[in-house]
Amino acid sequence: MLQLLDMSAAPTLLVALSVVSLALVALEPRLRLLARLFPSQHAGTANKVSEKPIKPTTLPDPDPLLDFDLATAKTRDHLYVNKTLRWPYFQTMAHQPMQINNWIEVDSNYEREMAYKARVVRDHPDNTILSLAENDAGCGELLQTLVDYLPKRYPTMFEKLAGDGIRNKVLGEDHPNCDKLTGTDALHVVSRLVQDDFLMGREREDGHVYFVGGVVAIPGFYDFSAKVGKSMREVHEHVPQFNEKILVSVERTLKRFKPEEPFERSSWEIVDDLNSHQHRIATLQGEETLAEDLHPKDYIFRIDHQTFRKLPKTNAIIFGVHPILRRLETFADLPLIPALLATVHEQGDEQLMKYKLNFRYQDKMLPYLKELTQSQIDRGLIKGDENVADFRALLEKVKA
Ligand code: HEM
């Protein structure tokens, strides 16, 4: 070959080769960007430029909590994360990407709440663990996902057993051969592992997402069995503004998000007891209000931490719900929170507030929130003229 070349052309050839290499080096970032934006069309180009994967296709493992102490364990403070409380208050998706460590948050109420859940499942077998046939494999994958996750995240509480089982060291229960379980058999084991409920969704051939089953022991307000088999539109029928304002985005998000893109959100309600299966407030009729002898300091602010994952094998949509209950009295030292809650009730959208059953508790709660706010002003925690929407910034000041 060399002999065939005219040697006088060699310097020109070398310069040409250098120019081409320099151009390739300079272009590489752009080629990568193109490959990332249009993965299928540019997969060939991307492979020539770099052998590295362009996007993770699976989630990382959670970080182990090696010193986890169940007796003092707390969830993150959901008043301050995930826009649970906000002003102005509209119906929005209000969802955020979720770090995998936050999928399952165990706290010191674990044993009490697991015992409560077991009683509810035993007493209401037809309304706590249900699954349609199309969801059988999804239930198995949910269980296996937990069997993989829990010993990694909470090694002091859970241990993987040979043959794909799991030991719950806190409750003293072994669940062998989890990989063999599907449908409600798998869901029964799921109900013995974590405080969270799991609602399960599935996209059907008609392009809509349906509620196809789950472990729903602590919904608080609604009847699980009446919702199973329904589309997102039907499920959210009673939620003000949902179908008009956010249904399309919710369905699009649920269909499109990938296993490596979990997200979270949260919602809140005022309740009057710890009976998370069905709070007493949800059973009141007509104009009834909360019990006269229940002081508003003992009203309970229920935050549902809601997590969304898509499972890679079955495409099951997993909607986890962990209710976190705290008495209103615990807001006394949280700057602006009582004022914010009062503003949401006094000026928030009427329909949204009615959905939260405000008419059953508001008349007694508002004067109490005003008292807490006045006490915060008196103690110099707040000035009293702040914008309630800025409550997060004030917590930073208190901590500093
Ligand atoms: C598999 C997916 C889902 C299922 C099975 C589901 C199920 C439910 C159910 C049963 C209720 C109670 C309805 C009632 O009171 O009658 C509810 C309420 C609600 N859902 Fe969903 N949902 C799903 C996804 C979503 C998503 C992705 C969002 C928004 C990002 C969302 C937002 C809401 C809202 C705003 C409410 C009113 C209570 C609250 O503030 O959370 N849902 N959902």
Specify the pLDDT at position 31: 39
Are 91 and 246 spatial neighbours (Cβ–Cβ below 8 Å)? yes
At 29, list the tokens: 């970032």
Dist. CA 230 → ligand 1 center (Å): 12
Whether pLDDT at 58 is above 90:
no
Cα torsion through 266, 270, 273, 278, rounded to 10: -60
Residue 106 resides in a domain: yes
Query: Has residue 13 got a pLDDT over 50?
Result: no
Instruction: Return d(Cα 271, Cα 302) in angstroms, integer.
Output: 7
User: Number of C-alpha atoms within 13 angstroms, CB side, residue 335?
Assistant: 22
Residue 399 pLDDT: 59
Residue 397 confidence class, pLDDT cut points 50, 70, 90: low
User: How much distance in Å is there from the Cα of 236 to the middle of ligand 1?
Assistant: 6
Residue 186 lies in a domain: yes
Considering the chain, what percentage of its residues have pLDDT values greater than 90?
A: 79
pLDDT at 52: 52
For Cα atoms 108, 114, 116, give the angle at the middle one, nearest 5 degrees: 115
User: Does residue 345 sit within a domain?
Assistant: no
Ligand 1 within 6 A of 254 CB?
A: yes
From CA 69, how far away is CA 310, in angstroms rounded? 30
Other beta carbons within 10 Å of 281 = 25
Q: Which of 29-38, 111-120, 229-238, 335-344 has the lowest mean pLDDT?
A: 29-38
Tell me the β-bridge partners of 131. Answer: 213
User: What is the DSSP secondary-structure string of 357-375?
Assistant: TGGGTHHHHHHHHHHHHHH
Q: What is the pLDDT of residues 313-340, one digit of tens each?
A: 999 999 999 999 999 999 999 999 999 9
Task: Using the atom order of ligand 1, give the atom closest to the CA of residue 317.
Answer: 1
Protein residue whose Cα sits closest to atom 43 of ligand 1: 236
pTM for this predicted structure: 0.86
Reply yes or no on whether the pLDDT at 135 is more than 90: yes
Most ligand 1 atoms within 8 A of CB, residue of 89, 90, 235 to mutate: 235
Which atom of ligand 1 lies closest to the CA of 91? 35
What pLDDT is recorded for position 295? 98
Cα 45 to ligand 1 centroid, rounded to whole Å: 42
For ligand 1, the distance from its centroid to the CA atom of residue 29, given in whole angstroms, is 42
What would the pLDDT profile of 176-203 be if each residue is shown by its tens digit?
999 999 999 999 999 999 999 999 999 9
Mean pLDDT across the stretch 124-138? 97
Q: Sorting pLDDT into bands at 50, 70 and 90, what band is 25?
A: very low
Please indicate, yes or no, if residue 170 is contained in any of the structural domains: yes
Is the distance from the beta carbon of residue 265 to the nearest atom of ligand 1 less than 6 Å? yes
> Cα(249) to centroid of ligand 1, in Å?
13
Question: Phi first, then psi: what are they for 156, rounded to 5°?
Answer: -80, -15
Assess whether the C-beta atom of 282 lies below 6 angstroms from ligand 1. Answer: no
CA-CA-CA-CA dihedral for 92, 334, 274, 109, to nearest 10 = 100
Q: Residue 44: what are its φ and ψ, rounded to 5°?
A: -65, -50
Nearest to 271 by CA among 334, 336, 324: 324
Residue from 211, 216, 236, 266 whose mutation best tests the ligand 1 pocket (most atoms within 8 A of CB):
236
**How much is the mean pLDDT over the chain?**
88
| Residue 55: predicted pLDDT | 53
Q: Is residue 341 domain-resident?
A: no
Of 309, 312, 132, whose CA–CA distance to 231 is shortest? 132
Give the end-to-end CA distance of the chain in Å, rounded to a whole number. 75
Q: Is residue 214 part of a domain?
A: yes
**Residue 139 belongs to a domain:** yes
Q: How many domains does the chain have?
A: 1
Which of 55-64, 133-142, 313-322, 340-349 comes out lowest in average pLDDT?
A: 55-64
- Among 58-62, 141-145, 169-173, 246-250, the least confident range: 58-62
Q: How does 348-379 read in b/e, with b if 16+ C-beta sit within 10 Å? A: beeebbebbbbebbbeebbebbeebbeebeee
Backbone angles phi, psi at 283, to 5 degrees: -100, -5
Q: What does each C-alpha distance from 367 to 338, 345, 353 come to in angstroms?
A: 10, 12, 17
For 217, list phi and psi in degrees, rounded to 5: -95, -25
Angle, helices 136-153 vs 183-190, to 10°: value is 30
pLDDT digits (tens, 9 = 90+) for 67-117: 999 999 999 999 998 888 889 887 787 899 999 999 999 999 999 999 999
Is residue 380, in this structure, part of any structural domain at all?
A: no
Please tell me the predicted confidence (pLDDT) of residue 311: 97
**Range of the structural domain that residue 104 is part of:** 94-267+306-321
Cβ(148)–Cβ(137) below 8 Å: no
Does ligand 1 come within 6 angstroms of the Cβ of 227? yes
Of 83-92, 245-254, 345-354, minimum mean pLDDT range: 83-92
Element containing residue 276 per DSSP (H, E): none
Please give the pLDDT value at position 44.
31
- Among 131, 139, 239, say which to mutate for ligand 1: greatest number of ligand atoms within 8 Å of CB: 239
Of residues 307 and 90, which shows the higher confidence score? Answer: 307
The runs of H, that is alpha helices, within 259-307 are none
Is the CB of 250 within 6 Å of ligand 1?
yes
Helix (H) or strand (E) holding 68: none
Q: Please say whether the dihedral angle defined by the alpha carbons of residues 21, 25, 27 and 28, taken in this order, is positive or negative.
A: positive
